[in-house]
């Protein structure tokens, strides 16, 4: 029983990483691009790094929302299936 709970926890961490990593990578790429632009032009405005990153990451999240929803739906179905199996065994 303990091993099954560990596998559920590992699956949860795995799905969190899979779903969060693309947005994090986009944010890092945009931040790096803006930082290079600020270093080259010597423009040091705080909103220059925040606003474009917020807008682009928000658009990216909206575009990838169906993919995220599919993964969450599949994971939830598998988790409920495991819960039903655990309930039958006890």
Domain containing residue 41: 2-89
Number of structural domains in the chain: 1
Q: Taking the chain, what is the end-to-end CA distance rounded to the nearest angstrom?
A: 10
Q: What is the pTM of this model?
A: 0.76
What's the confidence (pLDDT) of residue 33? 92
Give the pLDDT confidence of 22-62 residue by residue, as tens digits: 999 999 999 999 889 888 988 877 777 788 889 999 999 99
HEC profile of the chain: CHHHHHHHHHHHHHHHHHHHHHHHHHHHHHHHHHHHHHHHHCCCCHHHHHHHHHHHHHHHHHHHHHHHHHHHHHHHHHHHHHHHHHHHHC
Whole-number average pLDDT of the chain: 87
pLDDT > 90 in the chain, percent: 51
């Amino acid at each position: 029983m303990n091993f099954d709970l560990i596998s559920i926890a590992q699956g949860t961490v795995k799905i969190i990483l899979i779903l969060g990593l693309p947005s994090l990578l986009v944010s890092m790429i945009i931040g790096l691009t803006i930082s290079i632009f600020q270093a080259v032009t010597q423009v040091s405005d705080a909103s220059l790094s925040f606003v474009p990153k917020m807008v682009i990451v928000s658009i990216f999240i909206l575009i990838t929302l169906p993919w995220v929803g599919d993964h969450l739906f599949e994971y939830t179905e598998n988790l409920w299936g495991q819960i039903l199996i655990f309930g039958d065994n006890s």
